[in-house]
Amino acid sequence: MPGPGADTVVGHDVWLGQGATVLPGARIGTGVIVGARAVVGGEVPDYAIVAGNPARVVRMRFAPDVIAELLELAWWDWPIDRILAAEDAICGGDIAALRAARP
């Protein structure tokens, strides 16, 4: 009998649209938005927006330098009180405010 397949990995701050299917072994990066009813397999880069069957990158949410800074800030690892205090900056993608709020 074959062993288990590859792990399915979903990064931080990922939004899954209604009815989206994530296939076994998929690797979804941080900050990804998956469109409704998309079928996701393989690897999805950080901060991509994907849609369709099979899911394809429609566009990136931010420029490469902004993505690098968001990954370095890693607000999802902050203490909960800092996350709550920075909620507007997180939701708005306000990098300067996130830098200022960093613990």
CATH topology of domain 9-60: UDP N-Acetylglucosamine Acyltransferase; domain 1 (2.160.10)
The 10s digit of each residue's pLDDT in 21-49 is 999 999 999 999 999 999 999 999 999 99
Determine the Cα–Cα distance for residues 43 and 92; give it in Å rounded to an integer.
26
Beta bridge pairs of residue 34 = 16, 50
Query: Percent of the chain having pLDDT more than 70?
Result: 97
Angle at 90 between CA 86 and CA 91, to 5 degrees: 120
- Mean residue pLDDT across the chain: 94
Q: What are the start-end ranges of the H helices in the chain?
A: 64-73, 80-85, 87-92, 95-101
The residues spanned by each domain of the chain are: 9-60, 64-101
Helix/strand/coil for 65 = helix
Phi, psi of 74, rounded to the nearest 5 degrees: 40, 55
pLDDT band, very low/low/confident/very high, at 4 (cuts 50, 70, 90):
confident
The 10s digit of each residue's pLDDT in 60-70 is 999 999 999 99
